[in-house]
Structure 1
Amino acid sequence: MAASGATKITWKLQEFVAHAGNVTCLVLGKNSGRLLATGGEDCRVNLWSVSKPNCIMSLTGHNTPVECIQFKDSEELVVAGSQSGSLRIWDLEAAKILRTLSGHKANICSLDFHPFGEFVASGSMDTNVKLWDIRRKGCVMTYKGHTNAVRCLRFSPDGRWIASAGDDNTVKLWDLSAAKILTEFTDHTGPVNIVEFHPNEYLLASGSSDRTIKFWDLEKFKMVSCTEVESTPVRCILFNPDGCCLYSGSQDSMHVYGWEPPRCFDVLQVNWGRAADLAICSNQLIGASFSQVTVSTFVVDLNRVKKTGSIVQGVVEDEKLYNLPVTKGAVLRRNYERPLTTCSRPQSKVKEEPESEGRIPSGEEEKDDKESTAEIRNPEEYKEIFQPQNAIARTPPRRTDPFPAPPEDDTVAVKEAEKVIAPTEVHSPVLQRMQAEQLNFSPTVASTPINQPEAPIIPIAKNEPIGLKVADFLPPQNNKLADLSDEDAVSQIRKGHDTMCVVLTSRFKNLDTVRAVWTTGDVKTSIDSAVTMNDLAVIVDILNIINLKPYIDKLLQSKYESYVQTGYTSLKLILQRFGPLMADNLVTPPSIGVDITREERHQKCKLCYKQLKNLLPILQSKAGLPGRQGSAFRELQLLMAAFE
């Protein structure tokens, strides 16, 4: 716990000069929360122990400014990418360069180590994502699909997927074993700066310059929820280790979010400027930021931060009291299954990079590595962290004691530093209670019970009343909700369903427009209007009506030539556009990786194949006809042959 007598929730840990030139990037070791690496315009990578002022080690070798850095989970390796597009990997335990990799044609913007195998992924301003085999010293494969710089990369906890985010406003999910894109999320309206996988569930969070955080279900590949717009772009996020909430480091503040339903549990003022990275150590959140040549680190006591199911000042935040559903991740979606062995080399149809692009010739690499150094600046600290005595295998620096809070020496300053940023929709009694909890908190003394507690949840969405009488829909035993006005009650009931309400309202409006034109008898204009709306939901509704019965076989056997032509054109379009997809799903063997929707796709393709196979006798009977009609049916036969 914090030092005796200390009442601070957040405080600055240290500030130091990190490089001779401007600092360009930094990263915290997520495993220990005690290790910090910085990169600078001086082309160096410097290592620091969080809370210690002296540099442990300085790594050289890059000839251009370092653009990004990343630790391996075990923190014995660090990789750095430069403006020239090269990567260098250092072994920190051996204090030497391990690999030099080259292949990107522009700045390296993002890096990540595979959680199990000896692989590292890199994203660049050249729009490519590359997967490197550290042992083979070369590029295994290149993923192409982004149209702008790739700003962030993350491997999934089970090591089977890569999530990439970029300046093209998209988040892409790649399957490593299949070497192909699984899905693409395009709902952000600005560059996506950061992505993070939930530590257990099939859930992904992405933060963007559009000032929102979006949560994505990785089973259904759909958006779960979206936060309210923040005041500044979102650049660093971090899930709590148990997955109960998400922390967002905003400009001089920290937000704590839930996603089902979307809520903001807490907002704290932290004077860290623009936070660059977050980590958690001993139930404290460590934040780091940089400005010019200096780096600053900050601490937030998570014991004092409101999280779902958390206990604040001895009072449990009762979800049932406010009619907020208690969601369990394992019930909503499946968890990752982490393999017991290391990852083998991905098998794919993607060709390996040519020798000149994907690998450095051995002679050149050796020459380059000789120019790279790992200079130990603080031998005692280096030995303590990377070469512990009597250790069979090195482990990241772990200390059970949290960083102590400085003793309170200025009551007014402390109150200002810990003042919660109050959203406009929170009433003054709520704010007073939250401030009282923060400033008078004591781990050993229970607080005075509050007779009429206000809801501690800061709502994200603002809902407009719809004028309904809702008393009958409220639980009779819930006196808190029963005393609410209709407007507030509707807001409580609709909380968490705003996205669906918007979708259904838009869909109803569009369908009503199509229906109005349809009833006039002008069906063609009605269909044209549906197409111009660019709403796939409306198109699906109309096609479902048309496909209530299999009409194509009747059209192909019609005595009217125009009907036969329409049936032929429809079937040809289906076979050309969807035939290869259906064939692949029918013949592809069971995948080694996790593919949640594969069985559903397989069943649908089997149903389509069955219906198409019923048409085969018709095609064979008409393929022998003379002239253009026979030729058309022979073409359909060839397209159908893909299924055989």
Structure 2
Amino acid sequence: MATPVVTKTAWKLQEIVAHASNVSSLVLGKASGRLLATGGDDCRVNLWSINKPNCIMSLTGHTSPVESVRLNTPEELIVAGSQSGSIRVWDLEAAKILRTLMGHKANICSLDFHPYGEFVASGSQDTNIKLWDIRRKGCVFRYRGHSQAVRCLRFSPDGKWLASAADDHTVKLWDLTAGKMMSEFPGHTGPVNVVEFHPNEYLLASGSSDRTIRFWDLEKFQVVSCIEGEPGPVRSVLFNPDGCCLYSGCQDSLRVYGWEPERCFDVVLVNWGKVADLAICNDQLIGVAFSQSSVSSYVVDLTRVTRTGTVAPDPMQDSRPPAQQPPNPSAPLRRIYERPSATGSEPQRVKQNSESERRSPSSEDERESQAEIQNAEDYNEIFQPKNSISRTPPRRSEPFPAPPEDDMATAKEAAKPSPATDVQFPVPKLEVLSRPPVVTSTPAPKAESAIIPATRNEPIGLKASDFLPAVKIPQQAELVDEDAMSQIRKGHDTMCVVLTSRHKNLDTVRAVWTTGDIKTSVDSAVAINDLSVVVDLLNIVNQKASLWKLDLCTTVLPQIEKLLQSKYESYVQTGCTSLKLILQRFLPLITDMLAAPPTVGVDISREERLHKCRVCYKQLRSISGLVKSKSGLSGRHGSAFRELHLLMASLD
């Protein structure tokens, strides 16, 4: 009797030394699943073809370690963000630097390309999210709301929304055309590392270091289900292209989940350690992981994986009937994305043609940034032979063959649970959640806050059509450098006048400060009638609590009320800090003094202190109403106002 041939379900494909120093980031091209980009501590971005040993192209220009990389959908552009906060965009087909984008103040933690327009979103350790227009070389909008590093960004399939995940345990959904937060999804108890949109339905998945995966309904803005018990922090998730399941790259295993109801379809053992990214092509899932300077790639044969509650084929029985499909597998449970029609057009991208004079990078970029083709044969195979239908050569789309069984260098055979027997792997705990009316967060009306960034962060001409594919209309003229400089100079003189006046006012306050009279210094700042000067002074006083006295509170409290109503975030933050300090140090004294019975005789110092306490009490009562009204805001300011509201409870 012939021995049946056992086919592998998962195997290690290759291991390469990707950089001269440690690898700090990597990403797979999602269209082909065959293109790999790595960023390293050597400040380079290297491109590889999966299962080939040689580097295709090395991109230089960054002066600090590359923290994040991302390929656009057609795999023609790559963007890389560094530890210093700079972002560079390269055109892979032209093998040259395209743009350098500056503006973040800390590490770039996440990047994503818009699916249709020429936009890149970046998230940083400085807590900001920025939307960049590649054509205009600049930031067109800044989204502020996270209080810690933004770890992952994803555009929705229709290009209208942006989802962000951060170390502050929250997921936020942003409306690109409105330029505001639509909803905040709380619930995770640890940093959120990854978010992913369902390819068709209004559904969002998020994975966290708290070892859970949560699914969010984007119509009702509420949680659908939660999967607990992951073996470790969730770093990479990926929906199947048809949306039937979600893959989670766990520690040394691949897990396949459904969400309505929440369940684990399959667990496949893969020796990939901490897998960093996943991609799918030709019913094969590609996973990549990195350790020090090495990058390893792995393959999982999805034809042998249970994905939709079906019965997986038995590797020992070729004659087994095909798996039965669930009824109406394509029937969606919720609204489907309405992708704009791209008939007769392709997604917009920067062309290096007759407009190259206006769109070419600066001479400084050309000197510092290069795209070195290190393997011309692989480069030509991938980027050069392309036509109007598809640029992907047939060789790139062939499935990776499984290694022979007796190859000792291959990965350990993945164990497959049989549908007829008990699963031998620890199945994660699935937290069954009923669908509540609304989670703690509400849609846009509640998310709108009176606190907005400075007007310089308003969009510069963004409209809905910017996020749609190009249509057959004459190309809109771009701003040439001279026009752009002219627009910048328009406000330059005004800004110089403002800064000169502020500098003069601060010199006046500083002259009084050197005398050591803090109260008089604050009085002089208030008399100038410039809140920016008051903010500068309070930021210094707040750092040393011993400088605060009761008479100083009587002067500062009216200014705090103005700061809390300001539209500038930094002013609100300073006001909250000062008010919290006053409440913690002086509120018990004020309430005790006012509650004490009158004394016999005349005590001038006590009478003066009692008068100051009455003034402060009156001012605090005036502020308490404002604090109470703002305690319902979302985000970090909402939590700050809620804390102040609790501290002021004794005033009622």
Structure 2 stretches of 5 or more lacking a match? 314-319, 349-357, 451-462, 466-652
Conserved in 1, the CA contact under 8 Å of 2:183 and 2:447?
Answer: no
Residue 173 of structure 1 deviates from its aligned partner by 0.2
In 2, distance between residues paired with 1:14 and 1:282? 19
Partners of 2:255 and 2:159 in 1: CA distance: 29
| 1:418 and 2:419 aligned | no
For residue 579 of structure 1, report the CA deviation from its aligned partner: 13
Superposition deviation, residue 281 in structure 1: 1.1
Matched residue SS, 1:417:
coil
Cα drift, residue 343 of structure 1 = 11
> Percent same amino acid at aligned positions?
62
* Corresponding residue number in structure 1 for 2:642: none
| 8 Å CA contact retained: 1:262, 1:460 | no
Which of 378, 385, 403 matches 2:400? 403
Q: What corresponds to 1:440 in structure 2?
A: none
1:181 alignment counterpart: 181
Question: 1:343 and 1:216 mapped to 2: Cα distance?
Answer: 31
Contact 1:202 1:334 in 2 (8 A): yes
Question: 1:374: which partner in 2?
Answer: 371
Per the TM alignment, residue 395 of structure 1 is displaced from its structure 2 partner at its CA by 1.9
Aligned to 1:7: 7
Give the Cα separation in 1 of the matches to 2:122 and 2:78.
Answer: 13
Question: Paired residue for 1:96?
Answer: 96
> 2-side partners of 1:393 and 1:316: how far apart?
34
The reply to whether residue 132 of structure 1 matches residue 125 of structure 2 is no
- Contact 1:309–1:317 (8 Å) recurs in 2: no
CA, structure 1 residues 65+394, in 2 after alignment: closer, same or farther (shift >3 Å)?
farther
Q: Which runs of 5+ in 1 are unaligned?
A: 321-325, 346-360, 421-430, 435-449, 463-495, 508-534, 538-575, 581-590, 594-644
Please give the alpha-carbon distance, in whole angstroms, between the structure 1 residues aligned to 2:175 and 2:155. 10
Q: Does 1:500 align with 2:497?
A: no
- Aligned residue pairs: how many? 428
Match of 1:59 in 2: 59
Distance 1:334 1:205 in 2: 16
Contact 2:42 2:65 in 1 (8 A): yes
Instruction: Describe the shift of the 1:592–1:108 C-alpha distance in structure 2 as closer, same or farther (beyond 3 A).
Output: closer
Distance 1:457 1:201, change over 3 A: farther
TM-fit CA distance, 1:368: 2.7
What residue is the counterpart of 1:23 in the other structure? 23
What is the CA distance between 1:418 and its match in structure 2?
1.5
Any conservation in 2 of the 1:120–1:134 contact (CA below 8 Å)?
A: yes
1:290 positional shift: 0.3
Q: Distance in 2 between matches of 1:50 and 1:372?
A: 25
CA contact (8 A) 2:199 2:241 kept: yes
The structural deviation recorded for 1:142 is: 0.2
Residues 226 and 262, structure 2, Cα contact 8 Å, conserved in 1: yes
- Note if contact 1:264-1:458 (Cα within 8 Å) is conserved in structure 2: no
Instruction: Give me the CA root mean square deviation.
Output: 3.5
- The letter of the residue matching 1:337 is E
Instruction: After superposition, give the CA deviation of every residue in 1:350-394 in whole Å (9 maximum; x if it has no partner).
Output: xxxxxxxxxxx99994313321000000001100100016x3476
State the partner residue of 1:278. Answer: 278
Match of 2:34 in 1: 34
Q: 1:363/1:456 Cα in 2 relative to 1: closer, same or farther (>3 Å)?
A: closer
CA distance in 2, matches of 1:30, 1:113: 12
Q: 1:579 to 1:296 in 2, by over 3 A?
A: closer
Aligned to 1:191: 191
Residues 415 and 275 from structure 1, CA distance in 2 versus in 1: closer, same or farther, beyond 3 angstroms?
closer
Contact 1:75 1:396 in 2 (8 A): no
**TM-score, with structure 2 as normaliser:** 0.61
Letter in 2 for 1:49: S
Aligned to 2:485: none
Give the aligned partner of residue 351 of structure 1: none
Cα separation, 2, equivalents of 1:39 and 1:33:
18
State the Cα distance separating 1:229 from its structure 2 match.
1.7
| Aligned mates of 2:26, 2:312 — CA distance in 1 | 33
**Any conservation in 2 of the 1:5–1:407 contact (CA below 8 Å)?**
no
- 2:287 corresponds to 1:287: yes
Q: Does 1:332 align with 2:328?
A: no
Preserved CA contact (<8 Å) 2:182 2:447: no
User: How far does residue 332 in structure 1 lie from its aligned partner after superposition?
Assistant: 1.6
CA deviation profile, 1:380-428 (whole Å, cap 9, x unmatched): 1100100016x347624554421001111169x98953225xxxxxxxx
Question: Do the aligned partners of 2:99 and 2:361 also contact (CA within 8 Å) in 1?
Answer: no
Checking the alignment, whether the CA contact within 8 Å between 1:232 and 1:251 is kept in structure 2 is: yes
CA distance in 2, matches of 1:208, 1:578: 26
> What's the counterpart of residue 484 of structure 1?
none
Corresponding residue for 1:261?
261
Residues 34 and 397 of structure 1 are in contact (CA less than 8 Å); yes or no, is this contact kept in structure 2?
no
1:380/1:265 CA distance change after superposition, 3 Å: same
Equivalent-residue separation in structure 1 for 2:297 and 2:267 (angstroms): 19
Specify the SS of the correspondent of 2:152: strand
Q: Does 1:388 align with 2:385?
A: yes
TM-score w.r.t. the length of structure 1 is 0.61
Question: In 2, distance between residues paired with 1:499 and 1:68?
Answer: 34
1:231, distance to aligned residue in structure 2 (A): 1.6
Give the secondary-structure state (helix, strand or coil) at the position aligned to 1:75. coil
Post-superposition Cα deviations, 1:147-179, rounded to whole Å, max 9, x if no partner, equal 000000000000000000000000000000100
Structure 2 CA distance, aligned partners of 1:363 and 1:275?
A: 37
Output aligned runs, 1:466-615, within 5 Å. 498-500=432-434
For 1:236 and 1:396, locate their aligned partners in 2 and report how far apart those are by CA, in whole Å. Answer: 25
1:618-637 paired onto structure 2 within 5 Å: none
Residue type of the partner of 1:406? P
Measure, in 2, the Cα distance between the counterparts of 1:88 and 1:579: 33
Aligned residue number for residue 224 of structure 1: 224
Alignment correspondent of 2:528:
none
